[in-house]
Chains A and B, each alone.
Chain A
């Protein structure tokens, strides 16, 4: 390293800026988390690509080649991931050269896929964030998504209203369904002390089984077909696409604006509503809430019900906007993805919004990466990177220490879970 005096002044300024930038803030923690995730993923790529491993075996005979080939492989994979999820540079160039409808559609395609995937996740993540803010862990997202989706499907099967009313009714049914399921966990927590983690977890499995049963009943099953999938949602009950005039493959639908509005609503709820404030108080300091005359049992139930309501809505958005029918695997891993999205977004509505979009990026980008890398780097690598990122974000103390960030204390919360019963 050169002496400070001999450095050109610009470098000094950069160093100074870099030092100041080491002041810990959430943005830096996120950035470093992403960095750690990508590095970890890179190692996995090297370890699981036989050609690279062979070349590392002869590392000492040509170290440069080994490093550059490894770097190129990793870079190419991440490039595919990025282009597949956000913007494809090739189609962008085509669009600039030749602005046509079809080229525009091609440019929008990756983003449309990402946002479509992210839409239900935004709402589900918001539901979780409501719970987390009150120190309640609603692990039952999967079950509540199922309930929301199934009730929306039921409405679509049972009624035949004009599209607007049909969709509204679906939303109402899904919201109420989700709220009831999670609210039950809240009631059990408030009155018997049953830990919501276990109760909601078990409700997941129960709901999956009930879904499995419902799909073979005459109400939901298509007559004569035994593939496990339900009747489809009628067009009047579907959320309309809004880019389909460009290309019918663009699946972005009106669920996205609904999710957007939900973000605003939750933002309002957190900052401006009385109930939201009370829930925050109960979560942060239940004793002080009690002194201030807030009935904590009621808060617990309301909080769980609201959380469930949003997860129910997420299920509705998924079935009416994306899937259009229910399969036994309808709930997917939504519950856990929603938890991690909420963690990633630090329980802030806009944080959750971008957290879910990050998940969408990893999902669609992961698929692209699998399809376009010569060695078929599997989709699940994106999930690993995602998990590492969330891990780092969940324990900011680790990142702060690893990168020697300063004044990180405010980012580290040390609240315990407080046990089970």
Chain B
């Protein structure tokens, strides 16, 4: 007999629904396209938008000779072709892991070598200035609108079974691009690279938070306390660094301390949820309430009096040699503060640990069907403890991203609900670290975008608040299953009791 939740969402009706949904998405994309054509296309034909792909003249790579460029283009094309041609795929299909990994690395490197010379040309120092393009708003609107409509038609017609398809994302990105170009019309250049770079920076704590959520929920414990762990990490790290006046070593230790404080609250959650079997959502909410009150108290009682304990110390920015000079991608990915690199590392490590190691397999098993794990001699409760505590550690480090990341002092409102958004991101990323990374970047982009659109306030028809609301509205759409069937770990949030 089905339980309530099964009655509402079953696998079979999801399959039916997703086909219907595909039709709906198609129609929605067509409508978006029509809006683009009518609205942006209707803009005065004389208006232009200046797009600037370069970002910072200091990081621009010196010009490379034409011969080199062409050579790189050819080499890159060759590698890509070799890596992705069907024969290669067929011959490697039976082999496992290493060879397959090499192949995808080769494909990425090759593709990058192809794009590189193009980007180099687009963003390069051009006669002492960053190269800019001038796009006519009206024409762009027509073209992008047509692309959106075409995508929509394709989607509605083919009725793709997997509704979270590339077509949908492609169509939406095209629409977004059209919108940006329309908004940024006029003399102020649209700094695409700048937006992307700040998007990555903003994503940092979202990545930590959503990976933390992923680790906990893979083990079957809902960690809604991420917001509280953020606060604990942010506060403890800034105080620690301030005590040592921002010396280099103290920053490293501060990150560790932030992680330990996050782990502490992870442990509290684990004790309440696993030992005392309290409702996990309630415990999470209460932990957040405690952390909020506590950080407010420490802020007003201690830090406001001893302001030297709440200094502004940033983590060092690390420009990766050579890579950071790459146009567009360089400043976006390889010229960030250390924590951004840590975030990427956390994603890679946690994904590897979850899906390749003994601990990961066991954690996933207790999150799916703890009784089955127990029959093969796995200590369910201990696995859950370890996952929740490690998850808390990751979230705590993410908390340091609020203070040490941008180098600001602690303020008790500064986490502003990102801990909860991280949970939505975790769902969006389908309980996978790489998914969490991609979804965090997407959210980071909308956050950076809404901040950047302030520059063009006069030209916005839509109130700026509505743009800021975008991440939240997207989250609602995500959890409503707009991205298709998302299956959480089966035992997520279900207490386990030994007989």
With a cutoff of 8 Å between Cβ atoms, the chain A residues found around residue B475 in the complex are 198, 202
Stretch at the interface among B201-209, B270-278, B325-333: B270-278
What residues on B are CB-neighbors of A336 within 8 Å?
A: 285, 288-289, 292
From A419, which residue of chain B is reached at the shortest CB distance? Answer: B492
Residue of B with least CB distance to A390: B286
Question: Which of A17-25, A153-161, A189-197, A260-268 is near enough to bind chain B?
Answer: A189-197
Please give me the residue from chain A that is nearest to B290 by CB atom. A387
Q: How far, in whole Å, are A398 and B283 apart by their CA atoms in the complex?
A: 12
Of A290, A296, A383, A397, the contact of B277 (CB 8 Å cutoff): A397
Contact A417 B476 (CB under 8 A): no
Q: Which of B283, B301, B486 contacts A378 (CB 8 A)?
A: B301
In the complex, A355 Cα to B289 Cα: how many Å?
16
Q: Is the CB of B493 within 8 A of A417?
A: yes
Residues of B within 8 A of A415 (CB): 279
Tell me if A258 is interfacial: C-beta within 8 Å of chain B. no
Given that A209-B465, A387-B289, A394-B278 are contacting pairs, would A420 and B300 also be in contact in the complex, using a CB cutoff of 8 Å?
no
Q: Which residues of B contact A48 (CB under 8 A)?
A: 298, 301-302
Q: How long is the Cα–Cα vector from A383 to B289 in the complex, in angstroms?
A: 9
A378 touching B300, Cβ below 8 Å = yes
- CB contacts (< 8 Å) of A192 on chain B: these are 9, 480-481
Q: Hey, which chain A residues are within 8 Å of B164, CB to CB?
A: none
Name the distance in Å between A310's Cβ and chain B's nearest Cβ.
19
A44 to chain B: closest residue by CB:
B297
B residues less than 8 Å from A381 (CB atoms)? 297, 301
Instruction: Pick from A44, A213, A340, A417 the residue with the most CB of B within 10 Å.
Output: A417
Asked if B279 and A190 make an inter-chain contact with CB atoms under 8 angstroms apart, the answer reads no
Contacts of B463 in A (CB 8 A): 213
As a 0/1 sequence over residues 181 to 206 of chain A, the CB contacts with chain B under 8 angstroms (1 = contact) are: 00000001011111101110111111
Residue of B nearest to A211 (CB): B465
A198-B424, A419-B494 known; A395+B278 contact, CB < 8 A: yes
Q: Say whether A421 contacts B294, CB under 8 Å.
A: no
B292 to chain A: which residues have CB within 8 Å? 333, 336, 383, 387
| Nearest A residue to B275, CB-CB | A397
Residue tally, chain A, CB below 8 Å to B: 62
- Candidates B297, B301, B427, B469; contact of A206 at CB < 8 Å: B469
Q: How far is the CA of A286 from the CA of B296 in the complex (A)?
A: 40
Q: A194-B476, A209-B466 are in contact. Are A413 and B279 (CB under 8 A)?
A: yes
Q: Are B301 and A198 in contact (CB under 8 A)?
A: no
Q: Which of A191, A201, A386 contacts B420 (CB 8 A)?
A: A201
Assuming the A-B contacts A48-B302, A388-B290, are A139 and B285 also in contact, with contact meaning beta carbons closer than 8 angstroms in the complex?
Answer: yes
Q: Are A194 and B466 in contact (CB under 8 A)?
A: no
Knowing A194-B476, A209-B468, A387-B294, the reply to whether A421 touches B481 (Cβ < 8 A) is yes
Q: Chain B residues near A228: list those with CB within 8 A.
A: none
Query: Could you tell me the distance between the alpha carbons of A417 and B302 in the complex, rounded to whole angstroms?
Result: 37
**A297 near B8 (CB under 8 angstroms)?**
yes
Which B residues from 442 to 499 make CB contacts under 8 A with A? 463, 465-466, 468-469, 472-473, 475-476, 479-481, 486-489, 492-495, 497
How far is B296's CA from A312's CA once the two chains are assembled, in angstroms?
28
Q: With a CB–CB cut-off of 8 A, which chain A residues contact B473?
A: 202, 206
CB of A287 within 8 Å of the partner chain? yes
Query: Is A209 in contact with B469, judged by CB distance below 8 angstroms?
Result: yes
Our pick among A204, A206, A213, A421 for the contact of B9 (Cβ within 8 Å) is A421
B495 and A193 contact, CB distance less than 8 A: no
- The verdict on A414 contacting chain B, using a C-beta distance below 8 Å, is yes
Q: Judge if B38 is at the interface, Cβ distance under 8 Å.
A: no
Q: Is the CB of A417 within 8 A of B301?
A: no
Q: Beta-carbon contacts of A3-38 to B below 8 Å, as 1s and 0s?
A: 000000000000000000000000000000000000
Answer whether residue B4 sits at the interface, using C-beta atoms and an 8 A cutoff: yes
A-B contact pairs, 29 of them (CB 8 A): A188-B476, A194-B481, A198-B427, A198-B475, A202-B473, A202-B475, A204-B417, A206-B473, A213-B463, A286-B3, A287-B1, A297-B7, A336-B285, A336-B292, A339-B285, A381-B297, A383-B296, A386-B293, A387-B286, A390-B289, A391-B287, A416-B279, A416-B280, A417-B222, A418-B5, A418-B493, A420-B222, A421-B481, A421-B488
8 closest A-B pairs (Cβ-Cβ)? Answer: A286-B4, A397-B276, A193-B9, A383-B293, A419-B492, A380-B297, A213-B465, A209-B465
